[in-house]
Chains A and B, each alone.
Chain A
Amino acid sequence: MSDLLQLLFSGLAQGSIYGLVAIGFVAVFSVREIVNLAQGEYSALAGLSAISAVAAGVPLLLAILLVVPLVIGVSVIIERVCIEPVRRMTPLVSIILTLGVSTALKAAMLLIWGPQARGLPPFPGRDLVVAGISVRSQELWIIGIAVLVAVVVIWAYEHTLLGKAMRACAEQPVAARLVGISPRMATMIAFGIAGLVGAVAGVIGSPIYFSSWDYGLGLGLKGFVAATLGGLISLRVALFGGVVLGILENLVAGYIDSGYRDAVAFLVLLLVLLIRPQGLMLKASGARV
């Protein structure tokens, strides 16, 4: 029983990171059907930059506060340079473009930080044992911060005028332009949000999952799979899908074989594609974001 709880708890922490990354995919895809394969790299970049900042003597909190806007800026620049100038964007074009961006980012990170994986120092706090399961304080930080950021992003989409404008662009791009909402602005903001959630995921996860130049590959894949559960258009389902995926992975690793951990995401992706490409957990309605 305590094994199960332990696996569930670890899965929840890991899954909330996937959920954040999934929100990044959905934010960008829902506005202009762009699949941003560089999403995972944001987390690696944030983690590695924060590690360097801490190594240079910057306090942990300040390092995090510096790194998040940095990655948001990188994401927005990628949009301005690689996405905005493209005349006829299709999902396929976006995949090829962002694959190139992702490869370039990975190469740059390998050049700057080298091949070895490193971790940020853990956030303050003491590890606990509750009801027979060990609770690392970093995991509590991860769950708390990830849920907070995800809820703020989802709330903003649902309750602020800007968020509604983003949803309007996603649902009815022509009508959005006719009321004066610029799809270029919306795309730029979406990339900003993608940078934000990616950076936060990378920073909070770094102390236990570590950061390396190629960390974004696996993380991006898992975030993408979580996002497909909501057809790449539902933020709520993306967050939920991330958590479910994290828990599933841990259950498989714990009860079957830890070697199969990374196979779970592929299996889920296959199931989604075979059964309901429009999103496993999304009602077949017009509702988006």
Chain B
Amino acid sequence: MTGLQVEGLTAAYDRLQVLHGIDLEVAQGQIVAVIGANGVGKTTLLRSVSGLLRPRSGRVQLNGEEISSASAEQIARQGLAHVPENRLVFPSLSVDDNLSLGGWTTRKDGHYEERRTHALALFPRLADRINLSAGSLSGGEQQMLAMARALMAAPSVIVLDEPSLGLAPRLVGEIVGTLARLRDEQQLAVLLVEQNIRAAFRVADYVLVMDRGVVVAEGSPAELADDARVRAAYLGGDSTSSGSIVAPDPSPTTPATKNSQESR
């Protein structure tokens, strides 16, 4: 069993229960996106998966191994990388040092240079800024650094918390394109939490819609974009924003979605 499996996951902050039984599965070479409004538990879901928050109940399996009671450090060692909300780069350390710390769990395996070369090839912009302090980078560059740092651990599963937050559309496209490359070239399992629904729909193979701690709809992006209920509630009710979800998507489902849009 590879990839990430989550079953009946519940989580709480003290007495406030935030997740009420989440099931999801991410296979190697697959991108699963979780969308939903602010405060529905998307970040909590990722924190429970990566060990920052201990789940109250339920199972989390990473490559077939139960990790729901492991610490964040252990889970990182087992091959799950978490690119956190707000990037959380190490600001006073250089880009290069951020990368070498990303390789902390794999520092003794002798493949550091290969991975560094590969990470910098994915994000050439970082190579130009290799000796600058991470705190001096722009938001987009910090996001790239956070992703590159996560990749330095050679993870099999990567979870990302709103990588597009606050970035210019062109940068969002770059980040999303990199995720697709990681999926296709390295067979990474990617769990992506996004508020940028357009970006999420463009890249994901499967989408979960969350509301108040539960999954209220799921399916392929095409299926969900067709679901009038989901579209009205979570993808923005007005025609301009929901139109923009499907506009850049050249997939065969686009016309159908457009039709349903027009029929309203």
A178 to B77, CA, bound (A): 9
Interchain CB contact under 8 A, A172 and B105: no
Question: Which listed residue, B77, B84, B135, touches A174 by the CB 8 Å rule?
Answer: B84
Question: What is the size, in residues, of chain B's interface with A at 8 Å between Cβ atoms?
Answer: 29
Question: What is the size, in residues, of chain A's interface with B at 8 Å between Cβ atoms?
Answer: 21
Question: Which listed residue, B50, B100, B135, touches A164 by the CB 8 Å rule?
Answer: B100
Interchain CB contact under 8 A, A179 and B92: no
B residues near A286, Cβ cutoff 8 Å: 91-92, 135
A161 to B105, CA, bound (A): 12
B residues near A174, Cβ cutoff 8 Å: 52, 84, 88
Interchain CB contact under 8 A, A165 and B104: yes
A residues near B88, Cβ cutoff 8 Å: 172, 174-175, 178
Interchain CB contact under 8 A, B135 and A178: no
What per-residue 1/0 map shows which CB atoms of A169-199 lie under 8 Å from chain B? 0011011111111100000000000000000
Q: Whole-angstrom distance from the CB of A230 to the nearest CB of chain B?
A: 14
Question: Which listed residue, B84, B90, B92, B104, touches A180 by the CB 8 Å rule?
Answer: B104
Most chain B C-beta atoms within 10 Å of own C-beta, residue among A176, A180, A289: A180
Flag whether A248 is at the interface (Cβ < 8 A): no
**Known contacts A167-B90, A172-B89, A172-B90: A178-B50 contact under CB 8 Å:** yes
Interchain CB contact under 8 A, B52 and A164: no
B residues near A35, Cβ cutoff 8 Å: none
B residues near A180, Cβ cutoff 8 Å: 73, 76-77, 104-105, 153
**Known contacts A174-B84, A180-B153: A167-B73 contact under CB 8 Å:** no
Interchain CB contact under 8 A, B104 and A181: yes
Q: Whole-angstrom distance from the CB of A68 to the nearest CB of chain B?
A: 28
A65 to B50, CA, bound (A): 44
Interchain CB contact under 8 A, A167 and B76: no
| 18 pairs from A and B in contact (CB 8 Å cutoff) | A161-B100, A161-B101, A161-B107, A171-B93, A172-B89, A174-B52, A176-B90, A177-B71, A178-B81, A178-B150, A179-B104, A179-B150, A180-B104, A181-B73, A181-B101, A286-B92, A286-B135, A288-B92
